[in-house]
Amino acid sequence: MMLRRSGFALAIATLSLLALSTMARAHKLRVQGAAVTVAGSSVTVTPSRDWNSLGKKIGKNTETWTLDGEQLNDVTFFAGIAPGNPLVKERSKKHAPLPKFTRTTLLVEVPELLEGTHRTYKNSGAFKLLSTQAATFLGRDGVFFTYEFTDEDQLTRRGEAHAAIIDGKLFMMTFEAPRLGYFARSENDFRALVTSARLR
Amino acid sequence: MTLGLLLAQQAGAATAPVPPPYAGAYQPQGVDEIGWWREDDESERKLAASNLVIHDETLTGYVKHVLCDAIGEERCRSVRVYIMREPTFNASMSPNGTMRVLSGLLLRVHNEAELAAVLGHEFGHFERRHFLEGFKAQRGGTDVLAWAAVLASFAPTYHTRRAYGDLELSIYGNLFRYQRNQEREADRLGIGYLNESHLRPQAAALVWQNLMAEIEASARAKGLKKPDFNKIAFTASHPPEGERAAYLADLAVPEGAVRDDGAARYRAALAPWLPLFLDDQIKLNDFGASEYIIQSLATGGWTADLWFARAELYRTRGNQRDLANAADFYAKAIEIGPARPEAYRGLGLALMKTGQPTTGQKALRTYLALKPDASDAGMIRMMLPGKGTE
Amino acid sequence: MRYSAFWLACAAGLALLVTAPVSAQERSAVKQGFKLAAKTNKTILLFRPSVSVGEQSMGGLFEPNAAWTEQAKANIQAALDRFQARLGNAVVVAPEAYGDEARNLEEHMALFAAVSRSVIEYQFFVGNRLPTKKRDNKADMFDWSLGEGVAALPGARNADYGLFIYNKDAYGSTGRKVLQVFAMLGGVAVTSGEHLGYAGLVDLRTGDLLWLNADAEMGGDVREKDGSEKRVRQLLEDFPGSDIGKTDAP
């Protein structure tokens, strides 16, 4: 790889903002074969390849992993969402409330919960649920579903999610990536991650 | 606002002007305008290929037809209509003749006359080339905002701006807001077209009354004390809805009141799309607004689609009382018919969650019988005793 | 531009006082082992470059200017023609696309922009580099792709490589430059003008990104002929097998 560096001054002027916002929490390497807990919970996964855990979090009980940046491949862990809470942090509780996971939410309703969250939180359009089926997750009865949506950057993304409700809390792993190339390329790596997930 | 316009509004409020002779194909002039047209042409290329546009000839053709009915064939030739799947109330017309109609607008108007009132208003901006003036004014306005942001930055809570973003979306989001006097002028033109058409001009005032009521309903359900109209993008720069509804009612020619509003034709044209648009609205998680829209559509008569949408809305909110209501609404959808198989799904889920597993399972079985290859059939089967092994 | 450079330098100096030091930003990279040799009869397919040029008023609104945009496009085209002659490889413009083909091309353009942003944010920007990309860098690896779908793009069948070009320029007005200096006193960076430029060469069989030049702060005043040529040189400099940007420099 050949690299060229641009002027020091220019880089500082344009990137000092970015530096301020991102250097506070650095991204971490998640090494192949090494079990690691996610989102400060009792869930552990053992990656089949190296991943990056992003420094920024979208919600209290979440953690996001990526290979090339979250626009291109986004694995998000929702590790123990308690009843009454949204999946991600609300921008404005009053003006733009997000749908909540509740005590009565059924597994078959989890896809609707994620759809409502995406439409409100990310302003995603044209969301389409492609399939929903029963599947075990974390050793419990769970749900596996696939979907597709178009984001504001005009890219259509595919997604798949595995979820289970354990002791009244929602546990879910999602994988989202552009349907052009990126989704198919890392789908198996995500599935391996799902299979490796354990609840301590 | 010019003095002339002000006087015209006070003195001549009883009638809207007959639209002036149309100037015909217009070519942009000056650096700003030529630049915007070029940018707009490029933007339209992207729009035409966007996955967020509903590429349906019949629906697009119908909406264009309603516009043409209002403004006449000659004016209509300068317009290309794109319908975007976006559940908010808006339409816009950009400098080169691109009209964007959001699906949320189609969901909220009840007949051709109301749709024509909004589209005619947007065309009024285009005919008067308000965009350019608006852009110049906006440029001054944001200069002030930039200073404010810097002053705020001296406080420790300053949030960093994104280093990049979708410039294009932000342009269309921020610039297609005009000044109030331009809104009034476009209103007057819009109703002028309607007065000359075969559609009922009185419909224009109803659009704004409905929008106001919806915003109030949304705020009430969110527990906000009173609607803050300045917080809502569409209304921030527009004349107050109350004033608007009043002068639009005044400007409509009285003899137009007996004309057809095209409600039956509108309902028929929108029927195939209504379930999708309602679903998009419900997923916005704005209970008050969704409930208002459904009720408002139901003034033309409750249908299975409307009961179903209302049931989904209540089940999504999910309080015990909501679930009981939802079960009731699903049952009504089934009773009126023809109900979608999903009505049995929703009924079953709502009943199971309110402690009625036996009747709930019966409804779920009906759902599976009606739609054996449903995307969630496997999951639903798991909820039925003795069927979990399939 | 001389003034703008002066202000930027001032701004940078002030920023240094209030923010943590950041090391230099990388801007271009080539996939390991890729070389575009001259006169090898390869065909490069140029997708309709996305170019727009305008002025940034104090508030940051973008004001497009058609003449500048046309000038920038003409300059890119002229540079590519010279480039083609020197390389001995053909540069052809992709055919106009309609309907589903246009939608597919537009989605690939959006993907190219998203990949370029990711490369800037997570590999070129040292302070924010993803751990796996840090290791790639050490191993001299540049591993990004648009996927095999590029093979179906209009015109791709008869070409070897695809060239994607994306430009967005907004020039700062005087008011904005003054604002910038005030902002610096508060420790906030307000860049004067926005100059995004991405150019990428893609293998039309595999979709692999063979070469990328991506920068959120390009140079060259594209409103003027000389500046515009400088931009094109800058966009296409380090283009594998090319001497553009080296011998052309004034």
DSSP string, B200-227: -TTHHHHHHHHHHHHHHHHHHHHT-SS-
Whether A62 is in a domain gets the answer yes
Tell whether B242 and B293 lie within a shared domain: no
Closest-CA residue of chain B to C109: B46
The number of distinct structural domains making up chain A is: 1
Whether C244 is in a domain gets the answer no
Q: What is the CATH number of the domain that holds B340?
A: 1.25.40.10
B390 burial class (0-12, 13-18, 19+ CB within 10 angstroms)?
Answer: exposed
Dist. CA A189–CA C173, nearest whole Å = 49
The number of distinct structural domains making up chain B is: 2
Whether A20 is in a domain gets the answer no
C60 contacts in chain B (CB < 8 Å): 142, 146
Tell whether B227 and B326 lie within a shared domain: no
Dist. CA B106–CA B37, nearest whole Å = 27
Give ∠ CA B248-B250-B255 in degrees, rounded to 5.
Answer: 105
Tell me whether residues B353 and A106 touch, CB distance under 8 A: yes
Angle between the N-to-C axes of helices B167-175 and B30-48, in degrees from 0 to 180, rounded to the nearest 10 = 120
A74: β partners: A176
B231 contacts in chain A (CB < 8 Å): 95
Q: Is B301 left (phi over 0), alpha (psi -120 to 50) or beta?
A: left
Whether B390 is in a domain gets the answer no
Tell whether B193 and B111 lie within a shared domain: yes
Whether B273 is in a domain gets the answer no
Tell whether B251 and B348 lie within a shared domain: no
Dist. CA B272–CA B262, nearest whole Å = 17
Termini Cα distance of chain C:
16
> Of A12, A29, A180, which has the smallest distance from its Cβ to C12's Cβ?
A12
Whether C101 is in a domain gets the answer yes
Q: Which two tokens stand for residue A183?
A: 């989704």
The number of distinct structural domains making up chain C is: 1
Tell me whether residues A27 and C130 touch, CB distance under 8 A: yes
To test the contact with chain C by mutation, choose from A6, A52, A185 the residue with the greatest count of C C-beta atoms within 10 A, namely A6
Whether B387 is in a domain gets the answer no
Whether B274 is in a domain gets the answer no
Tell whether B205 and B331 lie within a shared domain: no
Domain that holds residue B350: 286-382
Whether this model's pTM surpasses 0.95: no
B383 contacts in chain A (CB < 8 Å): 106, 108
Tell whether B320 and B198 lie within a shared domain: no
Q: What is the CATH number of the domain that holds A155?
A: 3.40.1000.10
Whether A7 is in a domain gets the answer no
Q: Report the b/e string of B130-159 with b at 16+ CB within 10 A.
A: bbbebbeebbebbbeebbebbeebeeeeee
How many other C-beta atoms can be found within 10 angstroms of the C-beta atom of residue C153? 24
Which of B219, B243, B258 is the C-terminal boundary of a domain?
A: B258
Tell me whether residues C188 and B158 touch, CB distance under 8 A: yes
The whole-number average pLDDT for the span A51-67 is 93
Tell me whether residues C19 and A10 touch, CB distance under 8 A: no
C178–B contact, CB cutoff 8 A: no
Listed in sequence order, the DSSP H helices in C57-188 are 66-87, 99-119, 131-138, 174-185
What distances in angstroms separate CA C77 from CA C71, C83, C218, one per listed residue? Answer: 10, 10, 18
Tell whether B23 and B95 lie within a shared domain: yes
C-alpha atoms less than 13 angstroms from C-alpha of B315 in its C-beta half-sphere: 31
Tell me whether residues B375 and A107 touch, CB distance under 8 A: no
Dist. CA A141–CA B29, nearest whole Å = 66
Judge whether C91 and C83 are in contact, CB under 8 Å.
yes
Whether B7 is in a domain gets the answer no
Domain that holds residue C72: 2-18+27-236
Whether C119 is in a domain gets the answer yes
Are β-strands C161-172 and C43-46 bridged in parallel, bridged antiparallel, or unpaired?
A: parallel
**What's the pLDDT score for residue C187?**
44
Residues B1-52: pLDDT tens digits?
Answer: 333 333 334 334 446 767 767 766 677 777 667 766 776 777 777 778 777 8
Tell whether B254 and B347 lie within a shared domain: no
Residues C74-118: pLDDT tens digits?
Answer: 777 777 777 667 766 777 878 878 888 888 988 898 899 899 989
Does the pLDDT at position B136 exceed 70?
Answer: no
Tell me whether residues B376 and A132 touch, CB distance under 8 A: yes
Confidence of residue A124 (pLDDT cuts 50, 70, 90): confident
Residues B222-271: pLDDT tens digits?
Answer: 777 665 554 444 444 556 666 777 788 888 888 888 899 999 999 999 99
Does the pLDDT at position C54 exceed 90?
Answer: no
Whether C89 is in a domain gets the answer yes
Does the pLDDT at position B161 exceed 90?
Answer: no
Residues C119-159: pLDDT tens digits?
Answer: 988 888 878 889 998 888 787 788 899 999 999 999 999 89
Q: Which chains touch A (3 or more CB pairs under 8 A)?
A: B, C
Tell whether B247 and B349 lie within a shared domain: no
Domain that holds residue A100: 27-199
> Of C66, C103, C190, which has the smallest distance from its Cβ to B51's Cβ?
C103
**What's the pLDDT score for residue A54?**
93
Whether B211 is in a domain gets the answer yes
